[in-house]
Amino acid sequence: MHFTSPDESLSAGTWTSTPGKWHAFTDKDEYCYIIEGHCALIHEDGTRQDFRTGDSFMIPNGFRGFWEVMETTTKHFVIRDCTPVD
């Protein structure tokens, strides 16, 4: 982690993952910049977006689907927590 706001609602850092597939989180906005590798976001409706070194993209709050890493991937990220506060 490079930054976490005092209320922990905003964070930024660098993340690396080896190949695999898992459910993406919801209730967050995430900006990503791929430093190295090949990964994809697969929406629950089957729509797929592939990303490679140099790509940047936004995963909006409410996205439902999967991350898939085909080649070890490193990204910079900024995440904003959108979880409703009671």
Look up residue 5 and give its two tokens: 């706001």
Task: Tell me the pTM.
Answer: 0.92
- Closest by CA to 80, choosing from 14, 16, 22, 31, is 31
CA distances from 1 to 10, 41, 42, 78 (A): 11, 22, 25, 10
Mean pLDDT of 12-24: 97
Q: How confident is the model at residue 25 (pLDDT cuts 50, 70, 90)?
A: confident
Binned at pLDDT 50, 70 and 90, residue 4 comes out as very high
Give the residue among 1, 10, 5, 17 at the shortest CA–CA distance from 73. Answer: 17
Indicate the average pLDDT of the chain: 96
